[in-house]
């Protein structure tokens, strides 16, 4: 074996054939230099890595320093070699013949003669440029993902609010209809009451005149007033008015009570007093409020069966859980309605507790969900509704509210043509992280 420098030739030639075979056939670059930095030998992988035509062309560089992109990098490497005698996986940036920079990991050691003197530095250099670029790409992707998550985190409260407003807008006509019914008969009752009051006033006036005539004791005059009074009483059906006026007042009071309950349910549903704060939440009361808000969507297509168990209060953001319940209940009513069936459907709502969680199960006997798409129903913008009927955010937002924010569980089971069952499980003790509740959300 013949090396470029005869000084180290004898020391390395004892197992010359094996050494040269390893040296030349190694897939990684092997380079030998003098302690002063003179290039002494390089293998084929090194010549190819740096883009030189031959070993002679490579060694013609002379100085090891011409391979390094950064002089400081070379100084650090030499310092470690002098102090430790070896370096493992030293990170460096090297320059190819065409000026291209490569990233490398270098493992080096000192070669010594029989007297222990350092006669050369031998290094194995591995090109990790592709790995570095890959890591940089992954890092960029990670940074982009973090930025995207930050954007989602910033916009999520607004999305939830927009979806909530969209749902309220969708149900506004139904709520207006529910309010119009009691308001309509209250208005009609008060119009009738106004008429009755006029008749009663005139009847009382007759009575006063009769009393005045009796006081004067003119028999003929008294008889005339009595006959007029009785005729008026019969003609105006005063006896009927006495009975009907009680029914009108009772019915009107019932109507005002219904309006109060609708407004209270709407207020409880929107949770305008608590906003995004954690509160003690009664899921049974919330179901009642939500069913009232969604009544116009349900009452023409389905009957509601409630099986509400005795459950403890939940620490959660009540307005958001109301939105989840509304989304599922309205979807159930709309799925039944889509069948155009002659018979009414059934929506069943059941609640229970296992000690750590409170669960709500909402099922319907609508068309069900096909198995090939059921895994997608929580995906953003996925919808099976006709164009214009929904944008596919309701269940996606519901999933995020329950699973990610409240650390609960939202699952679905379905048998096509028979039933669909959504189950919401929420921890009794809040698991919401402080950062999940925005300090301030712009109302746009």
pLDDT band at 350 (very low <50, low <70, confident <90, very high): very high
Q: Are strands 314-316 and 101-112 parallel, antiparallel or unpaired?
A: unpaired
Q: Are strands 302-308 and 345-353 parallel, antiparallel or unpaired?
A: parallel
Report d(CA 206, CA 213) in Å as an integer. 10
**What's the confidence (pLDDT) of residue 430?**
87
- The whole-chain average pLDDT of the chain stands at 79
* Span of 277-286, 368-377, 428-437 with lowest mean pLDDT: 428-437
Nearest to 284 by CA among 308, 317, 264: 308
What DSSP string runs through 271-306? Answer: TTTTTT--EEE-HHHHHHHHHHHTHHHHTTTEEEEE
Report d(CA 107, CA 313) in Å as an integer. 64
**What's the confidence (pLDDT) of residue 167?**
61
Residue 86, both tokens: 């070896």
User: Contact at 8 Å (CB) between 126 and 137?
Assistant: no
**What's the confidence (pLDDT) of residue 348?**
95
Report d(CA 402, CA 395) in Å as an integer. 10
**What's the confidence (pLDDT) of residue 82?**
85
The structure tokens 């005795």 sit at: 310
List 39's β-bridge partners, or say none.
33
Query: How do residues 318-348 score in pLDDT, each as one tens digit?
Result: 888 888 898 899 889 988 998 888 899 999 9
List 427's β-bridge partners, or say none.
357
User: Contact at 8 Å (CB) between 403 and 409?
Assistant: yes
CA separation, residue 345 to residues 147, 341, 367, 409, 419 (Å): 46, 8, 10, 27, 11
* Span of 77-81, 201-205, 413-417 with lowest mean pLDDT: 201-205
The C-alpha angle with vertex 267 and arms to 261 and 268, in degrees rounded to 5, equals 90
Average pLDDT of span 166-186: 66
Report d(CA 72, CA 216) in Å as an integer. 130
Report d(CA 254, CA 126) in Å as an integer. 87
Residue 8 has pLDDT above 50, yes or no: no
**What's the confidence (pLDDT) of residue 270?**
58
Check residue 375 and report its DSSP letter.
G
Long-range pairs for 368-371: beta carbons < 8 A, 24 or more residues apart: 368/414, 368/415, 368/416, 368/417, 368/418, 368/419, 368/420, 369/412, 369/414, 369/416, 369/420, 370/416, 371/414, 371/416
Percentage of the chain beyond pLDDT 90 is 15
Report d(CA 318, CA 359) in Å as an integer. 15
pLDDT band at 440 (very low <50, low <70, confident <90, very high): very low
Residue 143, both tokens: 């940074």
Q: Which CATH class is domain 271-439?
A: alpha beta
CA separation, residue 13 to residues 2, 25, 27, 28 (Å): 8, 17, 22, 21
**For residue 295, how many C-alpha atoms fall within 13 Å in the half-sphere facing its CB?**
15
**What's the confidence (pLDDT) of residue 158?**
63
Q: Which fold has domain 9-127?
A: Beta-Lactamase (3.30.450)
The structure tokens 């949770």 sit at: 271
Cα dihedral 260/261/264/268 (nearest 10)? 180
Report d(CA 339, CA 319) in Å as an integer. 31
């Amino acid at each position: 074996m013949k090396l470029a420098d005869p000084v180290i030739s004898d020391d390395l030639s004892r197992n010359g054939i094996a050494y040269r075979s390893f040296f030349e056939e190694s897939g990684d670059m092997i380079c030998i230099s003098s302690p002063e930095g003179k290039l002494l030998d390089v293998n084929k992988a090194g010549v190819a890595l740096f883009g030189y035509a031959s070993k002679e062309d490579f060694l013609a560089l002379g100085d090891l320093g011409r391979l390094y992109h950064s002089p400081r990098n070379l100084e650090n490497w030499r310092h470690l070699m002098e102090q430790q005698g070896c370096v493992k996986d030293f990170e460096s940036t090297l320059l190819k013949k065409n000026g291209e920079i490569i990233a490398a990991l270098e493992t080096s050691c000192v070669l010594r003669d029989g007297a222990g003197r350092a006669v050369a530095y031998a290094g194995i250099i591995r090109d990790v440029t592709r790995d570095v670029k890959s890591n940089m790409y992954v890092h960029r992707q990670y940074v982009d993902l973090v930025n995207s998550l930050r954007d989602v985190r910033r916009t999520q409260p607004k999305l939830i609010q927009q979806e909530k407003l969209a749902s309220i807008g969708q149900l506004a006509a139904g709520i207006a209809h529910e309010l119009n019914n009691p308001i309509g008969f209250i208005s009609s009752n008060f119009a009738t009451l106004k008429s009755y009051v006029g008749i009663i006033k005139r009847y009382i006036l007759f009575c006063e005149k009769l009393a005045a005539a009796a006081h004067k004791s003119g028999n003929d005059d008294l008889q005339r007033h009595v006959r007029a009074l009785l005729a008026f009483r019969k003609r105006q059906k005063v006896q009927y008015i006495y009975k009907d006026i009680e029914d009108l007042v009772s019915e009107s009071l019932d109507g005002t009570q219904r309006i109060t309950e609708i407004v209270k349910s709407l207020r409880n549903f929107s949770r305008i007093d608590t906003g995004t704060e954690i509160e003690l939440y009664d899921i049974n009361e919330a179901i009642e409020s939500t069913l009232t808000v969604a009544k116009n969507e349900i009452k023409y297509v389905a009957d509601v069966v409630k099986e509400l168990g005795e459950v403890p209060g939940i620490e959660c953001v009540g307005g958001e859980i109301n939105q989840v319940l509304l989304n599922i209940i309205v979807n159930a009513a709309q799925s039944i309605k889509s069948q155009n069936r002659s018979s009414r459907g059934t929506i069943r709502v059941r609640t229970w507790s296992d000690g750590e969680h409170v669960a709500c199960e909402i099922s319907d006997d609508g068309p069900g969900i096909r198995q090939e798409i059921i895994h997608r129903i929580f995906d953003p913008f996925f919808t099976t509704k006709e164009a214009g009927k929904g944008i596919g955010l309701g269940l996606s937002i519901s999933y995020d509210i329950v699973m990610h924010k409240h650390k609960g569980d939202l699952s679905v089971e379905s048998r096509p043509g028979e039933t669909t069952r959504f189950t919401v499980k929420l921890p009794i003790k809040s698991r919401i992280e402080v950062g999940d509740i925005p300090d301030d959300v712009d109302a746009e």
